[in-house]
Structure formats: structure tokens, C-alpha cells
Amino acid sequence: MASRIGILNMNNLGLCLVLQLCLAFGMAGLFWPEKVMPVFDVLMFPWAASYRSVRANSIAAIGLSLLLLVTLLTGNH
């Protein structure tokens, strides 16, 4: 029985890691948009990154982390 619990916890580890990364990048984009701007300049190469696009992507990342948290808490994967 203990090994089955360990397997279930390891299956949730990837989801927890993605959740933390989305939350970290979302909060960083909201708190320090000028430091995240060079990353967006590289990712959105033909178009120039703006504070509005950084803010929108940060809010979307936080929304994704909340969605992943709900998925983790309900146990659906």
C-alpha cells in the first residue's frame, strides 16, 4: 500500500512543478515587468514586447496556475 501512495505522489510531482513555475513567472511579470521585458522581446521576436503584453501574459500564467491547482485538488489528470 505504501508503494502505491508513493507512485501517486510522484505522478503529481510534475503537475506541482508546472503549477509553481506558472505562478512564479506570473508574479514576476506583474511585480517586475521591466526585468521580464527582455525575455518577451526574444520570445515575441518579430513584434516588440510591451508592458501591456507582459501584464496580459502574467495574468494568464496566474490563471493557468489556478486552473492547475483546481485540477490537482480535484484529482483529475
Low-confidence ranges of the chain (pLDDT < 70): 1-10, 76-77
- The pLDDT value recorded for residue 12 is 77
- The pLDDT value recorded for residue 8 is 55
Residue 17 and residue 48 in contact, taking contact as beta carbons nearer than 8 Å: no
- The pLDDT value recorded for residue 17 is 86
> How many whole angstroms separate alpha carbon 18 and alpha carbon 45?
25
- The pLDDT value recorded for residue 5 is 54
Q: Which residue has the cell 493557468?
A: 64
C-alpha cell belonging to residue 52: 501591456
Backbone angles phi, psi at 64, to 5 degrees: -65, -40
Residue 65 and residue 19 in contact, taking contact as beta carbons nearer than 8 Å: yes
**Domain chopping of the chain, boundaries:** 2-74
- The pLDDT value recorded for residue 59 is 93
Q: What is the pTM of this model?
A: 0.73
- The pLDDT value recorded for residue 6 is 53
